[in-house]
Amino acid sequence: MDSKLLKKEKLLPLLDELRKEFLLVAPVEEDALLFYRPVESVAEIKLGSGRSVVPPKEWFFPQAESLYRYSTEGGGLVLEETLAATPAVLFGIHPCDLRSFAVLDAVFLQEPVDRYYTLRREKTVIIGISCTAVCPECFCSAYGISPVEGTGADVHLSEVGAVYMVEVLTPKGKELVARYQEFFEDQVAGVAEAKEARKETLSGQFTVRVTVDGLPAKLGSLFDHPYWEELSRRCLGCGICTYVCPTCHCFDITDVCRGFEGKRFRCWDACLFRDYTLHTSGHNPRHALYQRLRNRFFHKLKYNHDRYAIEGCVGCGRCVALCPVNIDIREVIATVRGLGE
């Protein structure tokens, strides 16, 4: 790993240069909330430790995307695929969301690979940034994620006083830094140590300590436990938790047709929605809300681990912060660990 320095006053000029060559996607503020959006001016970028409402996975896996257009005019069938991606820089990604990309990769990059997701991944350079504070709902440390960790980024920035420590982590990152080398300086003594000190400070800011060791095995014996029905009495089935989750990856596919022309697109779906498992016959194997809520937690805390050897949760806390009835996955984990003891 190569390390460089970037003075704070050079960050926006660097991003402005990147914007001339790449589509720059960065955190912006809309109605006091953060979203990752393509920006036309670096003045739009909101720097800081805040967590976006919708995770940056939306760049690789859009909430709705066209797959192809088709025409049946004249009795034939003509397909026009809409597979395309613009070279982009995804800036300001925090460690929990960096880990989420690995979770999504395990799903979309396995054979047969998802070409739409893959192309965006290949065309995008990721610039991560360390957290400067820990949100009350965060519990990323439960999954071994540090608030200053850059794993998953091509280049990672950590604020240290008046500079950013720049970690160059991949060949993509090395190429980017070399291309814009006039913005960077060689690392000086003490910066790495200052980053480690920040790590220790942030580690003490987590308000809830969560233990996930052995959780997949424990859940295996609790599938029929009455706890899930009890918990579901609070749930609205609204799906907010899935829509703000950085690792949820379920989607539906729909055709929209008018006359002889139409298009096929996919959009995010949620396992909490009743129609998610509804069969054409009318049978629904998860007809009750408690079954769908149970599936969500089993997916996050067991199934993803069993299937892909990576946890399905990254501890970002979005679902905790935004659930309208205060269902807290941290409390669910603690309760599950105590059941049957």
Location of structure tokens 């925090």: 94
Q: Is residue 247 part of a domain?
A: yes
Give the Cα separation of 72 and 6 in Å (integer).
56
Residues 239 and 164 in one domain: no
| Same domain (yes/no): 227, 279 | yes
Q: Do residues 285 and 161 both lie within one domain?
A: no
Task: Point out the domain boundary residue: 175, 203, 231.
Answer: 203
| 228 lies in some domain | yes
Could you say which residues of the chain have pLDDT below 70?
49, 340-341
pLDDT of residue 341: 58
272 and 292 in contact (C-beta within 8 Å)?
yes
- Would you say residue 113 lies in a domain? yes
| Domain match, 239 and 317 both | yes
Q: State the pLDDT at residue 62.
A: 96
Q: Residue 26: name the closest of 124, 87, 88, 92 by CA.
A: 92
Does 164 map to a domain? Answer: yes
Q: How high is the pLDDT of residue 76?
A: 87
Question: Which ranges of 220-309 does DSSP label H, i.e. alpha helix?
Answer: 227-232, 240-243, 289-298, 304-308
Same domain, 91 and 238: no
Angstrom distance (rounded) from CA 335 to CA 2: 43
Pair 114, 182 in one domain: yes
Query: Within this chain, do residues 17 and 149 fall inside the same structural domain, yes or no?
Result: yes
> Using CA atoms in the order 219, 220, 222, 224, what is the torsion angle rounded to 10 degrees?
140
Strand pairing class (2-7; 185-186): antiparallel
Which residues form the domain of 89?
A: 2-61+84-203
Q: Spell out the alpha helix ranges (H) of the chain.
A: 11-21, 57-60, 95-108, 115-123, 171-179, 191-203, 215-219, 227-232, 240-243, 289-298, 304-308, 318-322, 329-338
Same domain, 186 and 225: no
Check residue 179 and give its pLDDT. 97
How far apart CA 242 and CA 245 sit, in angstroms, is: 5
Any bridge partners for residue 2, and if so which?
168
Cα 211 from Cα 230, distance rounded (Å) = 23
**Residue 45 DSSP one-character state:** B
Same domain for 135 and 282, yes or no, is: no
Instruction: Supply the DSSP symbol for 5.
Output: E
Q: What does the alpha-carbon distance between residue 330 and residue 320 come to, in Å, rounded to a whole number?
A: 8
pLDDT at position 284: 94
Residue 307 lies in a domain: yes
Q: Between β-strands 185-186 and 163-168, what pairing exists: parallel, antiparallel or unpaired?
A: unpaired
For residue 124, tell me if it sits in a domain: yes
* pLDDT for residue 36: 97
Tell me, yes or no, whether 191 and 316 share the same domain.
no
Strand order in the sheet with 261-268: 78-81, 64-71, 261-268, 251-258
In a shared domain, residues 43 and 163: yes
Q: Count of domains in the chain?
A: 2
In a domain, 19, yes or no: yes
